[in-house]
Amino acid sequence: MALIKSVRGFTPEIGENCFLADNATIIGDVQIGRDCSIWFNTVLRGDVNSIRIGNGVNIQDGSVLHTLYEKSTIEIGDHVSVGHNVTIHGAAIRDYALIGMGATLLDHAVVGEGAIVAAGSLVLKDTVIQPGSIWGGVPAKFIKMVDPEQAKEINQKIAHNYLMYASWYKE
């Protein structure tokens, strides 16, 4: 069973039909929407500020989400896929965005709707990634625009696949 821990008077709130891996850790001021999956060795640490996660989001194995005390929060929209071993520190990610494996997003970065952050990228503090764009590298830079409908379709497929994968663990 996942470790769900209250801290500073905040208790995590988990939506309906969510999968929480046995060793996922969810602490403090965290709200998770419905149909989400939080995978193995993932830490959502809402001890110093809030973490808000929409519906249909998957946060894959080994990812860490944290914030700056009284300075940054995490806001993740609907149907976002966060790849394996991603670090999100006080950033905002809009609906249908895709964050590739091993990426790092720093405080006050904003990833626009349907945008893609390539695997291994470092999104610096205060970076604003336009909707429907692909960014990659260290530090992350604009690569190209993608068709917003195509990006949305790809991410919906991944998000729906993860909903299916999570159902295998509920049997």
Q: What is the pLDDT of residue 57?
A: 97
| Per-residue tokens: 117 | 């952050």
What average pLDDT does the segment 96-104 reach? 97
Q: Which amino acid is at 47?
A: D
Domain assignment of residue 143, given as a range:
3-168
pLDDT of residue 16 exceeding 70, the answer is yes
Check: CB of residue 91 under 8 Å from CB of residue 73. Answer: no
Q: What is the CATH number of the domain that holds 46?
A: 2.160.10.10
Check: CB of residue 51 under 8 Å from CB of residue 69. Answer: no
User: What pTM does this model have?
Assistant: 0.95
How many folded domains does the chain comprise?
Answer: 1
Q: What is the pLDDT of residue 171?
A: 65
